[in-house]
Amino acid sequence: MQTAASTCSSTPPPPATHVRGRTYVSVTSSKSYRITLLRHQKEDFSLLRSLYETDHITALYRNRLPLLKSSGKMAREMNLTELKAKLDQSKANEKLLLAKVNELTSEVKNLQEVLSEKETGWKNQLDDLTKKNTRFQREIRKEKSQLSNAMIRLTESTAKLEETEKCLESLKKEYQHVKQRLEKDLEKQTSIQKSIEEKLNNSVQTNTELKLQNEEFSKENEKLQALNESLSKDMDILKCSLAKEIIRRTDLETKCENLETTIRTKVEVPLNNRIKDLMGHIDQLKADAKKKTAYVTRLESDKKTLLLEKTQLKRKNDEWPEKYFEITQENKKLAKELEHTRILLDKNASEIQNLNLQLGNAVSKRWDVEQEKREQIEQKDSKIKKWKTRAKLQLNETALSESLKTEYGNNLFKAQDQIHCLEQKISVLTDANALLSTEKESLVKATSSLSCQLKEVKMQLENTEEQLSSARNKDAQQSSILATKEMENEQITKELEITATELQNAKDEISDLTKKTQELESEIKLLPREKMEVQGKLDQLAEEFSKNGLTSVAMHVKTLLNGMNEKDKNKYTVGRFNLELESQNFMKTITEQKTEIEELKAKLHKAMAAQSKKLLRKRQA
């Protein structure tokens, strides 16, 4: 029989991805599972070597069966060479893809290092700015405390001045009332004096009374003059105090103006310059990012072309099962023809035996007739010839029966060995499928957890944006409510504190995002390491097979695996492609997070610039 030899020699090799799938499963599984796989592989290779060595048995039927010498063998061999070349091309393309992926990972690492250095520089700059802000805030608080004390003193002095002014107004009113009374009294006195003079002319007694009244009025006038002198002294004292307080107020106003000028020159101007520098640096970073995105788009276009070539190769690999099915059908047809020929040989052997018996009977009858006519010597010669012919026929029959028995026994042993091998491979493939399903579930869980983390980060970013909008609304309300300079100074301090807290919150969020991105990048970095380990182990296995001289055995194993598991053909390639897509998605999410962080930083810088402009406008107004 020629089924095993034909499958080993004429059938084309399947793609190397299925065998890689087995080794990938063995790498990720436990040590015991690896040992069992290696034992099964050794048993399979020993059985296939025995099949390969028993090809000389099948050569017995090559001369008898001309049907096996078909003209399609050369075309099959040509297809094998072409397919081997295509497989080599696909392997080279895979190696190029791996090299490009490694280059991309190295570039991503370099970008991450540059970003980390820049982030450290930004953090140091922010720390310096925060220290300077704290120093300026301390100085401003001290000056504000001094201003508040001076303002308290001013309020006290103004209250005293108001009280003194009120007292002066009340004294002025009393003075006017007294003047009016005195005028009225003088008028009365003049009228009385006139009446008295008239009466003096009349009597002396009225003169004495008038003298007494004049003395009383003179005493009252002296008292009023003393009161006027005391009031004038109080007025002089109040005027001196007013002059002193006016001088103090002018000094305080000059100090306030000096403080405002120092704040403008020392705080606002360097802050504005620093903000401008940071904005220019951010523009440079954006330009660099655009260049890098253009380079990444080029690489992605190259990758798409390579993926198209890969899909074409996959389609060609998908066509192989149909060809293999046709070849197996042809082998089955040949096996059926062999069975028919065996049946015909058995029938021919039985007919030959019957004919030999008939011929023997006829010859015996003729010789019996002739024996009577011939002599006893001729009878003996005829008997000797008959015995010789019978011995030759018996020898031929025994040789044919022994050859057929050996062939049937060998074929039975081969079929049993093949059935045993197929059962072992089915068990191995079921275990591999179970392991692949568990790995897929773990990957799905990891992706779901990462998506949840990304959603949480987005929610945090939205909350920060809402906080910024609410802070802006509050600032607008405060700016509309506060009108005086003193309240503006308090508003400035409050806004500075709010911005400091917001900056700290943004720093904390940025640090959390950087930690999460580092964790994701570490998880992504583990994937190419696992791929490299799998590739190294595959190369070691290939070298061991080549050293042992089992190339045909490896090809036959590949054909058997493809014939038994057409559904699970390209699991390793599909899994690898899925892993590459997942890694690309992770890198995209990381880049999106970085862009969002940069946008938040830009928004913070814009908010700081707007607040500084508002403060400058308020102070100028």
Task: Please tell me the predicted confidence (pLDDT) of residue 381.
Answer: 65
Q: Would you give the distance in Å from CA 337 to the centre of its chain?
A: 62
pLDDT at 559: 44
**Cut 0.75: pTM above it:** no
Residue appearing with tokens 């004294």: 171
Token representation of residue 344: 């015909």
Res 570: pLDDT: 43
Using 50, 70 and 90 to split pLDDT, how confident is the model at 23? very low
Nearest-angstrom CA–CA distance, 294 and 241: 77
Residue-level pLDDT at 15: 41
Q: Is the pLDDT of residue 492 over 60?
A: no
Task: Provide the percentage of residues in the chain whose pLDDT is more than 90.
Answer: 0
- Segment 379-407, tens digit of pLDDT: 666 666 777 666 666 666 666 666 655 66
Distance (Å, whole) CA 115 – CA 615: 33
**495 pLDDT above the threshold of 50:** yes
Find the farthest-apart pair of alpha carbons in the chain and give their distance in angstroms, rounded.
240
> Residue 70 corresponds to which tokens in the numbers above?
């078909």
How far apart are alpha carbons 553 and 52 in whole angstroms? 8
Residue ranges of alpha helices (H) inside 549-570 are: 551-564
8 A C-beta contact, residue 168 and residue 236: no
Question: Cα–chain-centroid distance for residue 429?
Answer: 33
Q: pLDDT tens digits for 280-301?
A: 777 777 777 777 777 777 777 7
Are the C-beta atoms of 274 and 129 separated by less than 8 Å?
A: yes
- H or E element that contains 124: helix 73-202
Quick one: tokens of 413?
């042993």
Give pLDDT tens digits for 307-330: 787 777 777 767 766 766 777 787
Q: For residue 176, what pLDDT is reported?
A: 75
Mean pLDDT within 171-194: 74
Q: CA–CA separation, 600 vs 603, rounded Å? A: 5
Confidence of residue 565 (pLDDT cuts 50, 70, 90): very low
In percent, the amount of the chain with pLDDT more than 70 equals 39
Q: Which of 2-11, 304-313, 362-371, 611-620 holds the top average pLDDT? A: 304-313
Listed residue (386, 285, 234) closest to 598, CA to CA: 285
Tokens of 483: 């009108």
What confidence category does residue 140 fall into, taking pLDDT thresholds of 50, 70 and 90?
confident
